[in-house]
Amino acid sequence: MTSVSSVSVNVASPVRQTTLPEVPPLGILYGIGVGPGDPEWITVKGLRLLQSVQVVAVPQNRQGEPGLAYAIAQQYLRPHQTLITLNLPFTTDPTQLETGWGQSMTTLLPHLRAGRNVAFLAEGDISFYSTFSHVARSAQLHEPGITIETVPGVCAPLAAASALNIPLSLWHEKVAILPALYEVSELDHALDWAEVVILMIVGAVFDLVWECLKGRDLLDHACLVEWVGWSQQKNWVGWQDLKGYKPPYFSVAIIKRQLNSAPFPKNM
Ligand SMILES: C[S@@+](CC[C@H](N)C(=O)[O-])C[C@H]1O[C@@H](n2cnc3c(N)ncnc32)[C@H](O)[C@@H]1O
């Protein structure tokens, strides 16, 4: 006789699996310097990364429109990319600045948290007196795990030397860069120390600088480049005729104590 044994199968009650929503890895925040004017001054790497991201962020100008960095890089943007314009205040007031940097970050964070890479474009170089550095710090505070990568760009003083077709510095020459001038004694000090002095944001203090250079008999040693890399670029070599002149905000001054820098020959 064949016995049939019954096999009892232990059917476990189904386990209810709670699936947590997948958290995408954070997107990367790229800071890309697009150069001060000529769109061809962007680096190959900057261009590649700019075109690889889903989101492009640019600072607004005073009119609330996409600013200079956008105007420079606009032609490189792809139709599917999301453009974000950031309202970064034009002020030296620390509270307003902190608020502006924080708000910009609040705008960018949802994209980064959704795993989208973001490229912040800055005019000139990305680490040279650039708002990006502050926004990136704010990003780091809000999201400590974030990856931030910067891509350098041509900065205005180097572009200005190229526009003047001169060597900026040679041999032992020291170069001093003054971001803004609050006291003429700072300029005196720089001129005592360095053979080459570069003044950013020179427009606001041009009268003061002119008088100082006149007093030191250095007017023939000074150059000014306005809007370098733009169609409205203007170069001034020697400042004898510039008394009372009001250069625009986008102007950079180069003062060379030694006149060893005759321009290279150039077909004009
Ligand atoms: C806040 S700083 C920005 C510097 C910028 N990140 C760079 O790498 O050149 C602004 C100053 O840079 C200089 N600058 C920037 N772009 C310029 C341009 N296209 N022509 C002349 N000066 C420029 C001016 O002195 C201006 O006041």
Average pLDDT over residues 69-79: 98
HEC letters along 123-158: CECCCCCCHHHHHHHHHHHHCCCCEEEEECCCCHHH
The whole-angstrom separation of Cα 20 and Cα 110 is: 19
Q: Is residue 189 part of a domain?
A: yes
CA angle 124, 117, 109 (to 5 degrees): 95
Q: Is residue 46 part of a domain?
A: yes
* Ligand 1, atom nearest to 126 Cα: 6
Q: Is the pLDDT of residue 2 over 90?
A: no
* CB within 8 Å of 77: residues ≥ 6 apart: 50, 51, 56, 83
Nearest to 195 by CA among 133, 143, 260: 260
pLDDT the model gives residue 264: 61
The average confidence (pLDDT) of the chain is: 90
Mutate to test the pocket of ligand 1, among 125, 200, 226 (most ligand atoms within 8 A of CB): 200
* C-alpha of residue 114 to centroid of ligand 1, in Å: 34
Instruction: Using the 3D structure, point to which of 154, 176, 202 is the last residue of a domain.
Output: 154
- Same domain? For 238 and 209 the reply is yes
Residues with CB under 6 A from ligand 1: 36-37, 122-125, 128-130, 155-156, 200-201, 225-229, 249-252
* Stretch (H or E) spanning 85: strand 82-86
Average pLDDT over residues 129-136: 94
* Domain around 111: 28-154
Residue-wise pLDDT tens digits, 9-29: 454 555 566 677 677 799 999
pTM of the model: 0.88
Q: Is residue 14 part of a domain?
A: no
CATH number, position 47: 3.40.1010.10
Q: Is the pLDDT of residue 259 over 90?
A: no
Tokens 């290279």 identify what position? 264
- Same domain? For 121 and 211 the reply is no
pLDDT the model gives residue 225: 98
CB 39 within 8 A of CB 133: no
Span of 65-79, 144-158, 161-175, 180-194 with lowest mean pLDDT: 180-194
Mutate to test the pocket of ligand 1, among 42, 126, 128, 252 (most ligand atoms within 8 A of CB): 252
* C-alpha of residue 186 to centroid of ligand 1, in Å: 20
Instruction: Using the 3D structure, point to which of 154, 184, 206 is the last residue of a domain.
Output: 154
The more confidently predicted of residues 59 and 184 is: 59
- Same domain? For 186 and 71 the reply is no
Q: Is residue 2 part of a domain?
A: no
- Same domain? For 146 and 183 the reply is no
- Same domain? For 72 and 96 the reply is yes
Instruction: Using the 3D structure, point to which of 154, 181, 206 is the last residue of a domain.
Output: 154
Average pLDDT over residues 94-123: 92
CA of 23: how far to CAs of 20, 26, 130, 197, in Å? Answer: 9, 9, 32, 51
Q: Is the pLDDT of residue 263 over 90?
A: no
Residue-wise pLDDT tens digits, 23-46: 779 999 999 999 999 999 999 999
* Ligand 1, atom nearest to 203 Cα: 27
Tokens 């720089």 identify what position? 190
